[in-house]
Chain A
Amino acid sequence: NAGVTQTPKFRVLKTGQSMTLLCAQDMNHEYMYWYRQDPGMGLRLIHYSVGEGTTAKGEVPDGYNVSRLKKQNFLLGLESAAPSQTSVYFCASSLAGGQQFFGPGTRLTVL
């Protein structure tokens, strides 16, 4: 039981490049979330999903897109990366009303 896994662990992009972060969970959770954490700050919610095929915006959705084609996977896309998107990205999953289980994070640097 791997829990929540994230791919890749590290990535460096140039401004304007695109990339996709993958989150996978093997706990059969309906709910999945993407957060970002900037240095010295708490986590902020980017997008979330309440089930396969559904997504919704969180606090800071601009510049990101998401997809949930399969229940176990939640993808976060950056179409045109900007230096302001340099951050650590965390994925989480949960049952309805339950605690959130977090992945190990992806450290993204945009030059």
Chain B
Amino acid sequence: DAKTTQPPSMDCAEGRAANLPCNHSTISGNEYVYWYRQIHSQGPQYIIHGLKNNETNEMASLIITEDRKSSTLILPHATLRDTAVYYCIVRVAGLWFQGAQKLVFGQGTRLTINP
């Protein structure tokens, strides 16, 4: 699985867009980019994923560069509740062992939203 690189920490003002970068320069053509977040030691929460195209859902947007070597998670209007550790994970598309997923968590980016 491709390795990801994220900044250890970031700050963002409440109400502004939070842009979290992720480098995955060794990503293969069949690997998805997933984002999860972990709020204050709770269980991780799925945010969004994508393969090539940009994706948007009710929580966030995911922008993947054309060469797929990096991506950015965008929280459009950050709130204090978005303070969390954000994990960028690259996962092989399709099924792993008998359908199980293999998620490899790095240390993530600790995002702090300031009032």
Contacts and interface: CB of A to CB of B under 8 A. Distances in A.
B42 A99 contact: no
Contact of A97 (B44, B45, B87, B101): B101
B105 A100 contact: no
Contact of A100 (B42, B97, B103): B103
Which label, helix, strand, loop or mixed, suits the secondary structure of the A interface?
strand
A109 B88 CA distance: 29
Interface in B89-115: 94-95, 97-108
Interface string A2-19: 001000000000000000
B87 to A, nearest CB: 7
Contacts of A94: 101
A50 B44 contact: no
Given A42-B104, A45-B102, A90-B43, 13 more contacts: A40-B107, A43-B103, A50-B97, A50-B98, A50-B100, A54-B98, A56-B100, A88-B41, A96-B99, A97-B95, A102-B44, A102-B45, A105-B42
A56 B34 CA distance: 23
A41 B43 contact: no
Interface string A79-108: 000000000101010101111111111000
B43 A92 contact: yes
Contacts of A56: 97-98, 100
A55 to B, nearest CB: 11
B49 interface: yes
B86 to A, nearest CB: 11
A100 B25 CA distance: 25
A44 B104 CA distance: 7
Contacts of B107: 40-42
B99 to A, nearest CB: 4
A25 B42 CA distance: 17
A97 B46 contact: no
B99 A50 contact: yes
A43 B105 CA distance: 6
A31 interface: yes
Contact of B41 (A48, A97, A100, A105): A105
A33 interface: yes
